[in-house]
Amino acid sequence: MDSYQQTTRTTLKRRPQRGAFDRPTVHAILDATFLCHVGFVVEGQPFVIPTSYGRDGDTLFIHGAAASRMLRELSTGIPVAVTVTLLDGLVLARSAFHHSLNYRSVVMLGTASLVEEPAEKMHALEVITEQIVPGRWAEVRRPDDQELKATTVLRLPIEEVSAKIRTGPPIDDDEDMKLPIWAGVLPLTVAPGSPIPDPQLAEGLPLPASVTAYQKIEGAK
């Protein structure tokens, strides 16, 4: 099926035209970055924690230290929300009221489960690493048994999910169109700067392909 099932909880109450449920749109947003915000509830209090992720088909992997409180809570199967937001620009209207943001976001609802099988765990870590810096997995020392044990990996099915997108210019009221006020969009992108070598880096080691390729991605990530 090419679209995710729309549910009451993922249906946009306002501006439904900004919503999308088709797989290509949802996947494109999830693949354009690696940072998500994870929401969960402990004793009635919501918490929202930023973390990195990797997507593999209809699965999202997140990971962290085995001692992480968030991962421990989530592994018990409590309800979770995962939100991914790409900020694309400032929408500057003639009126304060019609100012807005251009963005692409995905909101996922569901429950997480522990990845325990070592081969799948290793695969998940590769997926996460490759999502952050494509090509990096092949360059580095892979996790050993002890490191695998010290890492908790969770899988979240991409199932109850919606995308929301705003693009384009500001939309002012007709009577404001003649005001002598500049209106338009100021695009924002995340840009890589100059790599900073580790102070203890051995002399003469060139930049790896993963970093030089990353720099070439315009408006990368």
Positions in 154-213 near its own copies (CB under 8 A) = 169-170, 176-202, 205-208, 210-211
Closest separation in Å from C-beta 2 to its own copies: 26
The continuous run of DSSP H or E covering 31 comes out as helix 23-31
CB 187, min distance to its own copies, A? 4
Site size for its own copies (CB under 8 A): 95
Of residues 28, 32, 132, 165, which one binds its own copies by CB under 8 A?
A: 132
For the stretch 98-102, contacts whose Cβ atoms lie closer than 8 Å and that sit 24 or more positions apart, written own/partner, are: 98/170, 98/171, 98/172, 98/173, 98/176, 99/170, 100/166, 100/170, 101/166, 102/166, 102/167, 102/168, 102/185, 102/187
In contact, 111 and 73? CB cutoff 8 Å = no
Q: What radius of gyration, in Å, describes the C-alpha atoms of the chain?
A: 21
Contacting residue, 3, 57, 101, 117, with its own copies by CB under 8 A: 101
Interacting residues with its own copies between 16 and 45 (CB under 8 A): 35, 37-41, 44-45
Residue with smaller CB distance to its own copies, 2 or 199: 199
Instruction: Please report, as residue ranges, which positions from 63 to 82 form the binding site for its own copies (by CB under 8 A).
Output: 65, 67-69, 79-82
- Tell me which residue of 40, 70, 64, 66 sits closest to 52, measured CA to CA: 64
Q: Which region among 17-25, 53-61, 83-91, 112-120 touches its own copies (by CB under 8 A)?
A: 83-91
By CB under 8 A, residue 48 contacts its own copies: yes
Of 9, 24, 76, 117, which one interacts with its own copies (CB under 8 A)? 9
Q: How far apart are CA 106 and CA 172, in angstroms?
A: 27
CA 72 – CA 62 distance, rounded (Å): 12
Judged by CB under 8 A, which stretch of 23-31, 53-61, 112-120, 127-135 contacts its own copies?
Answer: 127-135
209, amino acid identity: A
